[in-house]
Structure formats: structure tokens, C-alpha cells
Amino acid sequence: MSLIFVLFEANSQEKEFRSPDYDSISIVIADTSSACFYPKLLLRLEQWDTTLTTEDYRILYYGFTYKPEYQPYWRSPYDDEMREYYQSKKLSDKDCDKVIELISKSLKENPFDLRQLNFLAYAYKLKEDEITSGKVISRFFGIISAIRSTGNGETCETGYHVISTSHEYVFLNLFEFQFVSQALTADLCDFMQVKIDERGIDGVYFQISRLWNVNIERMKSLRK
């Protein structure tokens, strides 16, 4: 069994998880005297601060949903340009430079794009820039840690809270689940059915109520 399986199983057995308190987060990120004042934390994130804690990432990740630039179903404007690099079997040094350029611009719009963070770390690693690659990896796993701290995925009530449905697929891939199908529950959870393996898990629940509600509010405002 791989280390990543062990980590997942340990997390599944962990009782100490808690759903995000969105109301409290909305208050603390607007408090200019708080260490959690959003611009302060965001600056640390943008500077690739590796000392950010899981609690910091919880505030950053879920607090992002209160920012005007947050789009629940965001798509990077550079996706079309990035496609050839995602599909490439081998990246040249010049390719890596272009990947770094495009993803860096994309992350200015959405600093929590897990797929792009993963690929950015890969590009830096190919360029043998282990220090920068490590900083990118630190942000990637900081976000994953924040998501994992919100539940265990066993039921809708204890589902992992995500602010993008794309993060569900990254999560499944990271923990080596084979995706089968997706279904939206009445309680606004995505149930991601997976192929049962030796872990005996047939699916993972992701709580998407926050992104769903933000999307509804945005749609209502557009009709006014």
C-alpha cells in the first residue's frame, strides 16, 4: 500500500474535523486589525509563504468566496493555450518557461487552481528549480489540507467542502481513486462514485453548498 493510501486512511479515521464557519470567516477577513485580514493573508500566499498553517489556508480558501473576483465555475482564460502543454509527453525548457508564464498570470485571477498549481510545480521541477517547485507544492498541499480538515467524505453531512467542483477531481486523482460517476444530492453535495478497491470505499462526498449559493446570488444580481 502506498504512502498516499496510508495518509488517506489515517485522515478517514480522524475525528477532529470541522465544517467551515462561513459567517465567522466573512467577519474575520474584513477585520483590518486581525492577522486574518484577507489582504494580509493573500499577500503572504502570493509571496509563496511556506509558514502558512492549515488554519490560514482555511481562511484563505473559503474566504475567497467572499471576494468579488471569485467565480464558482471559473475557467482560466489560458486553458486553450495550456492544453497542448497538458497533453505533451515531454516539455522542453522553452515549454516550461511558457507554462510558468501562463500559469503565473492565471493564478493572479484564481490563486487556488489546484490543477495549475500541480503543473506549475512540475514545470519548475523540470527546470531543476527545486526551491520554487517546493514553494508551489507547499501551497498545493496547504489547500488540500484545508479541504481535508472539513470532513471525511463519508456522508453528505461530513463531506469535504470545496469552492470549485474541479477540486473534487484533483482530490480523487491525488488519492488514486478511479472516478465512475457524479450525482448531486438534495443537500447540495456532489457524491463522486469511485471504483471500489482494497480500501472498500465506493464514493466520496463533497459539500458544494457555498459555491452553489454564491452562484445563485450572482445569477439573481444579473437579472436585476
CA dihedral (112, 116, 120, 126) in degrees, to 10, reads 150
Cα of 6 vs its chain's centroid, Å: 21
Hey, where are the domains in the chain? Answer: 150-224
pLDDT tens digits, 149-199: 999 999 999 999 999 999 999 999 999 999 999 999 999 999 999 999 998
**Cβ–Cβ < 8 Å for 163, 210:** yes
pLDDT tens digits, 58-73: 999 999 999 999 999 9
pLDDT tens digits, 96-123: 999 999 999 999 999 999 999 999 999 9
Q: Which residues contact 99 (CB under 8 A, 6 or more apart)?
A: 82, 85, 91, 119, 120, 123
